[in-house]
Structure 1
Amino acid sequence: MYNRGKVFYGVEGLDAKNKEVYAIISENGKKISIYSKNKVIDQLKARQLVQQERNPKKITKLALGMYHNKPVWEVTYYNQNNKLCYDLLSLKDGHVMQSIQNI
């Protein structure tokens, strides 16, 4: 579950053609966005990007969501100073769309 003003649910599964996909579903279930897993960064890649760029002490959560109508990975982690941090990575290419540090 992702909650940044609006609630979204992210799931991984297979489409009707047995292709791996991610689905991001609005809280009321009326809007479902489907992304082919082979055309976006996966959960492991999102984790690796944050690990390389931020060197966190511990990554606590990865969640699919939407930010300004764009699909994102929300990565929650503790930095080396034990402060809570969030990075929103573009699902499309992994670039950081928003970063909140030292909460």
Structure 2
Amino acid sequence: MQRQRRIKKQSKVKVSWIVTSVILVLLFSVFIIFHQAEKPMRTARSQTVSMAKKYAGLTTVSSFYSSNLNKTYYSVAGTDNKGKKIYVIIAKKGGTITVVNQSSGLSVDAIRNVVQEKKSPKKINSISLTLIKGKPYWVVSYLNSSNNLCFATLNFKTGNVYRSINNI
């Protein structure tokens, strides 16, 4: 009788170790998958920051943006070596660098307010900078009241809607 209890107890211990091991392997696998999925954006950010520091004199970085309309642009916001607040917009292909004074246009918070007033979104997903015909624009991704994905491209200086894509 005692022998049967000991065998049952040993088998329960083995099963619990196997279950624990499987859970740990799954958690580790999920961590690795997420880590690898984020790697391209981390690489883009670090390359954008280093190019902005080298070619635009950026000293501090406060934000990073990524936009992909017709072309992909990576942007950073920060302060240059003269103490001016700037945005540095870099094209993914070609590496063309555009420097824009933050004071010459609307801030992210101002654009968020404009979109709230004009579009009444349920949720704003992202706001980023892009270039269209060499001029800076804000691109806003949001969910409307019907939970449909929408994009609005707003003029950097005025906040006027340049282009709007609704109900994707």
User: For the superposition of Structure 1 and Structure 2, which TM-score range results when normalised by the shorter chain?
Assistant: over 0.9
The TM-score, its normalising length taken from structure 1, stands at 0.93
Query: Alpha-carbon deviation of 1:29?
Result: 5.7
1:81 and 2:146 matched: yes
Q: Are the structure 2 counterparts of residues 11 and 29 from structure 1 closer, same or farther at C-alpha, using a change threshold of 3 Å?
A: farther
Q: Quote the residue 2:85 is aligned against.
A: 20
Deviations 1:67-98 (A, max 9, x none): 23321111000000111000001112111110
Q: Which has the higher helix share?
A: 2
Q: Quote the residue 1:66 is aligned against.
A: 131
Q: How does 1:21-100 map to 2 (within 5 A)?
A: 21-28=86-93, 30-100=95-165
Q: Matched residue of 1:93: which SS?
A: coil
Within 2, Cα distance between the matches of 1:29 and 1:69? 14
Number of equivalences: 103
Within 1, Cα distance between the matches of 2:113 and 2:94? 30
Q: Matched residue of 2:167: which SS?
A: coil
Gaps of 5+ in 2: 1-65
Within 1, Cα distance between the matches of 2:86 and 2:116? 24
The TM-score, its normalising length taken from structure 2, stands at 0.59
Q: Quote the residue 2:72 is aligned against.
A: 7
Gaps of 5+ in 1: none
Q: Which has the higher strand share?
A: 1
- Counterpart amino acid of residue 132 in structure 2: Y
Query: Alpha-carbon deviation of 1:66?
Result: 1.2
Within 1, Cα distance between the matches of 2:133 and 2:167? 23
Within 2, Cα distance between the matches of 1:72 and 1:31? 16
CA RMSD, 1 decimal: 1.2
- Counterpart amino acid of residue 44 in structure 1: D
